[in-house]
Amino acid sequence: MKVLYDGLSLTTALDQAFAKINSPQDKAFIQALCYGVCRHYHRLDFILSTLLDKPLKDKEIKTLALAGLFQLAHMRLKPYAAVSETVVAANKKPWAKAVLNAVLRNYLREQVALEEQANSVETAATSHPAWLIERIRQDWPEQAPDILLHNNQQPPMTLRVNLAKTTLEDYLVQMADHNLGCTTSACCPSAITLQRPVAVELLPGFNEGMVSVQDGAAQLAAWLLNAQAGQRVLDVCAAPGGKTSHILETQAHLQELVAVDIDASRLAQVQDNLQRLGQHASLKVGDASQPHTWWDGQLFDRIVVDAPCSATGVIRRHPDIKLLRRAEDIDPLAITQQAILQAAWAMLAPGGLLLYATCSIFKQENEQQIARFLADHDDATEQPLAMPGNSQWGVTGLHGRQILTGMAGMDGFYYALLRKH
């Protein structure tokens, strides 16, 4: 309800709820239920409206009905248990118990016909809002069906092996010793993907900083930046710190790494990550588009701009994006990205490299952003994006490279590399 009606992110809503719950099993069940309802919301909502004579005005009961339908359609629960527990949850509203009971039992009776009906309506079939389907199709007409499909699948758990502390081969041996099945990445030399997710405490060497959780697409950043010994590096919009720590893993002999984020509480997460990995960076709370409030005036040799974006490349990890994001959000985001890019460019030394990144799949936030920037800056030239071993990844566009959600098992991500004359 906090996501659907208060506009809260699912992560924040769950954090608040979990503060009152001790049982790990209950937490896992609640998380699966909430993620599932968000992931399949548009389909569940269509089916619910089909089952009702008139819309349910009571938000709590409507949300319960969606949760009940999700359990029946997608969770391995005994149907009678899912129905009875959903009905019991409405105890404070006796009138609603009969409604929920009827809706859920009718779904079980008519399940095949209802699911077929849902398949005939695009928003229900894809479980995406109409504006998002249209926008994805506009930018990626051929790949749109795959993107929509991958957005609704549970993402894999991918790890970044700390190659400053171990080799990929040695870590794979440790994983095998712990009976943890995993595969390596054809795109990224530090990435391994687990066959099934596990708690981080069960990962060998996690507390010692031997490994971190980070999607393969995000891991490309440090490799593409290719920071050299003695350089000053800036990571703007740095939280929660995956890229910051990975840059330090790939180059331990920097002059300084400065990590900036506008959110002090999220910057604290960066510090926690650095501490576990035994690393150090200069952390600054600040607005990336207003460097005069935090910058010391010394130029940087390398800058990563992981710009705030629509996050349309990580919908499979954050299905609430489909409920919270609006079409009208994109233009203001593009303006913010341009402002951050301009500000970062002023802090880059001549000869320096700036890596622009987003977890968006929209061209407006990505290649069009770079095209506009290059048109406005005579002192900027685009550089090729080179990975160790010349691994092939993503789609080459007008500028930069775009990873579309699900490509090589990775999140949707965009990169472009610019050199300053």
pLDDT one-digit tens code per residue, 15-52? 999 999 999 999 999 999 999 999 999 999 999 999 99
Residue 105 has pLDDT above 90, yes or no: yes
Tell me which residue of 405, 41, 67, 379 sits closest to 216, measured CA to CA: 405
pLDDT, position 400: 98
Q: CA 236, CA 306: separation in Å to the nearest integer? A: 7
Q: What number is the average pLDDT over the span 267-282?
A: 96
pLDDT, position 24: 93
Known catalytic residue at 237: no
Strands 232-236, 380-383: pairing kind: unpaired
Residue 250 has pLDDT above 90, yes or no: yes
User: pLDDT by residue (tens digit) across 132-161?
Assistant: 999 999 999 999 999 999 999 999 999 999
Please state, rounded to an integer, the average pLDDT across all residues of the chain. 97
- Domain residue ranges of the chain, discontinuous segments joined by +: 2-128, 158-213, 216-420
User: pLDDT by residue (tens digit) across 368-386?
Assistant: 999 999 999 999 999 999 9
User: pLDDT by residue (tens digit) across 71-102?
Assistant: 999 999 999 999 999 999 999 999 999 999 99
pLDDT band at 391 (very low <50, low <70, confident <90, very high): confident
Report the phi/psi class of residue 61: left, alpha or beta, with left for phi > 0 and alpha for psi in -120 to 50: alpha
pLDDT band at 420 (very low <50, low <70, confident <90, very high): very high
Q: Top-level CATH class of 158-213?
A: alpha beta
Q: What number is the average pLDDT over the span 323-342?
A: 98
Catalytic residue among 182, 187, 188, 359: 359
Q: Which CATH superfamily is domain 2-128 in?
A: NusB-like (1.10.940.10)
Residue 389 has pLDDT above 90, yes or no: no
Q: CA 401, CA 394: separation in Å to the nearest integer? A: 6
Provide the whole-model pTM: 0.97
User: pLDDT by residue (tens digit) across 310-329?
Assistant: 999 999 999 999 999 999 99
111-137 in b/e form (b: 16+ CB < 10 A) is: eeebeeebeeeebbbbbbbeebbebbe
Three-state secondary-structure class, residue 19? coil
355 neighbors 219 (Cβ within 8 angstroms): no
121 neighbors 42 (Cβ within 8 angstroms): no
pLDDT, position 392: 86
pLDDT, position 145: 98
Q: Which CATH superfamily is domain 216-420 in?
A: Vaccinia Virus protein VP39 (3.40.50.150)
For CA atoms 366, 372, 375, 377, the dihedral sign is negative
Q: What number is the average pLDDT over the span 288-312?
A: 98
Q: CA 164, CA 387: separation in Å to the nearest integer? A: 18
pLDDT, position 353: 98
Q: What is the CA radius of gyration of the chain?
A: 23
User: pLDDT by residue (tens digit) across 163-181?
Assistant: 999 999 999 999 999 999 9
Q: Matching CATH topology for 2-128 and 158-213?
A: no
Tell me which residue of 349, 367, 375 sits closest to 417, measured CA to CA: 367
Residue 268 has pLDDT above 90, yes or no: yes
pLDDT, position 176: 97
pLDDT, position 412: 98
